[in-house]
Structure 1
Amino acid sequence: MDHLTRRQQEIYDYLQANLDKFPHPPTLDELCNALGLSSKGSLHKQIQALIDAGLIEPMNNRRRGIRLSGQSQDEAQGLPFLGYIAAGHPIEAVEQQETIEVPDYLHTNRPCYVLQVKGDSMIEEGILDGDQIIIEQRDHARNGEIVVALVDGSDATLKRIEQKPDRVILHPANASLSPMTYAPDQVQIQGILVGQMRRYH
C-alpha cells in the first residue's frame, strides 16, 4: 500500500487491529476519541482517502459507521437473547444460549441484551406482547426510565421506575393496572430499555 501516507497507514493498521473491539462500527467521533485526535475534519480526510483507495466501505445513511472493505460487518449485530420478560405480573427471565441480530441504531455502545415481552401492562408505551426489546445492561436508572427490575431476587419485570428514599414504585403503562410498590432492597435494576423490534405476521 505504497500509495498511502504514513498517517493513513497508521489509521488503517489501527482499524485492522481494533475494529472488532468496538460494539458497533465506529463513527468518526468515536474513532477520533479512540485515536486521541483533536480534529474530526482531518480524520475525515484520511478516512475519505482510505475509501478512495478501496480499503474502507463508503459511508451513507443506511450503513453508518466505519467498516473495512470485504469484512462481513452487517447492519445487524448479534446480541444475547436472555429469554422472556413480563409486562404484566413478574415472571422469571429464562436465560438461553442464543443470539438475535439487532440493527446498530437500536442498541448502545454498552453491553446490551434482548428479551421478549409477555403481557400487556406496557401497551400504552407501545410495548406489545411478543415484542423484542433491547436492554442496556446497568444497575441504576433515572426516575422515569423503563427498566428491567428484578424483584426479590427472582422475578424480572418491565416497568417505568420511580425511586424514593423509602420505596421503589414500578409503574405499568396500562390504565387497568396499578403501580407496584416495594422496599428499595427488594428491587434490583438489571438494565434500561433502549430499543424495540416487532415482527408482523
Structure 2
Amino acid sequence: MLTRKQLELLDFIKQRMDRDGVPPSFDEMKDALDLRSKSGIHRLITALEERGFIRRLAHRARALEIIKLPDAMEKPGYTSGGFTPKVIAGDKPATPPGPPRGAMVVEAVHAMELPVMGRIAAGVPIEAISEVSHHVAVPGSMLSGRGNHYALEVKGDSMIEAGINDGDIVVIREQTTADNGDIVVALVEESEATLKRFRRKGSMIALEAANPAYETRVFPDHLVKVQGRLVGLIRSY
C-alpha cells in the first residue's frame, strides 16, 4: 500500500517519462509535490524503490526506471494513460518478481529498426546531421504515436541533469513543432543541430541545457527549426 505522496510522485514520474522519455529532476519532483526540500523526495524515492515500484540505475544522474505500477494506476480510465517504460538498460535484465524456479518463460518483444543519423551535440551545437551511420533495434512500445522516428548518438554532457549522458542513443519522433519544456532536436541557422529543451518566449526561442555549466542560447524564432522531439532513450552498460 502506497501513501498519497508516494502515489503522487510515482504518477508524476510516469507522466514525465511518457512525455519526455526521461525522468524529472529532483527539483521538478519537489515543485510538483509542493515539498519544501529535496530530502522529502529522497525519502519518497527510497520508499518506492524498497516497495519494488522503481529502480535507481547506478552511477547515472536522474536515471530511474519504473518496474511496476499500483493496480489503481493500471485500471481502465486512469487519467495518466498506459504504462510505457522509456529507459532501456542495455543487456542488464530487469528484476521484478519472476516465475517459479525451473519454469520457462518466452516473451515476445516487438522491435523496429531505426536509422542512427550520426551524433547529436548535447553541448555546443555541431553540424546538421543528414546521413545514416547504422541502424538500431528499438522496442515498438517506445515509439510514440504515428509518424517517422530516427535515432541519434549523444555527444556531450549538457543534458546530463535530464538523465541524458554522453554516448546514449536518443529516439526522436520527427516533427516540426514543440511545446515548452519538450526536449528537441533543433536546427540552428540551417547549419547546426543540437539536443536541448525548447522554450518559446514571444518571437524568441530559448534552447536550454540541463547542466549549469552551459548557458541558455536564445535566437529569433526564424533561426530555429524543430526537427524532432525526444521520445525514448537507449543506454548500454
**Shorter-chain TM-score category?**
0.5 to 0.7
**How far apart are residue 177 of structure 1 and its match?**
1.3
**2:179 counterpart of 1:179:** no
Do 1:131 and 1:197's aligned partners in 2 also have CA atoms closer than 8 Å? yes
Alignment correspondent of 2:226: 189
Normalization by structure 1: what TM-score? 0.62
- Give, as a single letter, the amino acid of the residue that structure 1 aligns with 2:121: A
Report % sequence identity. 44
Partners of 2:203 and 2:221 lie apart in 1 by 7
CA contact (8 A) 1:172 1:179 kept: yes
Q: Give deviations 1:19-46, integer Å, cap 9, x for gaps.
A: xxxxxxxxxxxxxxxxxxxxxxxxxxxx
- Structure 1 outlier segments of 4+, above 3 Å: none
Alignment-derived partner of residue 78 in structure 1: 113
SS at structure 1 position matched to 2:161: helix
Residue aligning to 1:126: 163
For residues 38-61 of structure 1, give each alpha carbon's deviation from its aligned partner in whole angstroms, at most 9, with x where no partner exists: xxxxxxxxxxxxxxxxxxxxxxxx
Residue aligning to 1:88: 123
Q: Pick closer, same or farther for the CA change 1:188–1:75 going to 2, 3 Å.
A: same
- Among 133, 138, 145, the alignment partner of 1:102 is 138
Letter aligned with residue 167 of structure 1: M
Q: Counterpart in 1 of 2:202?
A: 165
* SS of the residue 1:161 aligns to: strand
Q: Which amino acid aligns with 1:184?
A: D
Higher RCO (CA < 8 A, seq sep 6+): 2
In structure 2, give the amino acid aligned to 1:103. P
**Larger Rg computed on CA atoms:** 1
Query: What do residues 92-136 of structure 1 show as CA deviations (whole Å, max 9, x unaligned)?
Result: 225125321111122123210000000000000000000000000
Give aligned pairs, total.
131
- Distance in 2 (CA, whole Å) between partners of 1:85 and 1:139 is 17
TM-score by length of 2: 0.53
Unaligned runs of 5+ in 1: 1-61, 64-73
Distance 1:123 1:94 in 2: 25
Most deviating of 83-92 and 101-110:
101-110
Write out aligned runs for 1:1-201 (5 A). Answer: 63=108, 75-92=110-127, 93-96=129-132, 98-108=134-144, 109-200=146-237
Q: Is the 2:118–2:133 Cα contact (8 Å) retained in structure 1? A: no
- Checking the alignment, whether the CA contact within 8 Å between 2:154 and 2:169 is kept in structure 1 is yes
Structure 1 position 147, deviation (Å): 0.3
